[in-house]
């Protein structure tokens, strides 16, 4: 995420660290491990009316291996089981926008800095 924030002129290491720590809840956070290595982490906030994918970070050396796709696919299974949409926000200009769109997320809204996405389980898309 840092390269995307730097490209947008928005990276501030102190602000980024504080923003993460202010909202950190261990029970919402999962490490992504590949063998003995930590490949990244993700944070899912489970709300009464949706699942919010707050963070999904895969370390550069592990990108392109389908790890992020597997995380999102597992989250989609959970969303289907509970008939809940998945929502998230991506920084405009970040490669994550193409990633989420390729996984079936649709744009809900956008401003100058961020785009809000949503994925609906089959139970929601029929209604």
Measured CA to CA, the distance from residue 87 to residue 18 in angstroms comes to: 23
In this prediction the pTM is: 0.81
User: What is the tens place of the pLDDT at every residue in 5-57?
Assistant: 555 555 566 665 666 667 678 899 999 999 999 999 999 999 999 999 999 99
Tell me if 54 sits within 8 A of 88, measured CB to CB: yes
Tell me how long the chain is: 127
* pLDDT tens for each residue of 59-75: 999 999 999 999 999 99
**Residue among 92, 111, 99, 64 nearest 7 (CA):** 92
């Amino acid at each position: 995420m840092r390269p995307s924030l730097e490209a947008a002129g928005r990276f501030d290491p102190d602000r980024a660290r504080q923003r993460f720590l202010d909202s950190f809840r261990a029970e919402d956070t999962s490490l992504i491990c590949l063998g003995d290595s930590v490949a990244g982490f993700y944070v899912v906030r489970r709300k009464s009316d949706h699942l919010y994918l707050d963070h999904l970070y895969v370390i550069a050396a592990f990108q392109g291996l389908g790890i992020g796709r597997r995380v999102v696919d597992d989250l989609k299974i959970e969303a289907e089981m509970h008939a809940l949409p998945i929502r998230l926000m991506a920084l405009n200009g970040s490669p994550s926008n193409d990633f989420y769109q390729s996984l079936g997320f649709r744009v809900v809204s956008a401003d100058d800095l961020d785009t809000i996405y949503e994925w609906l389980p089959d139970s929601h898309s029929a209604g």
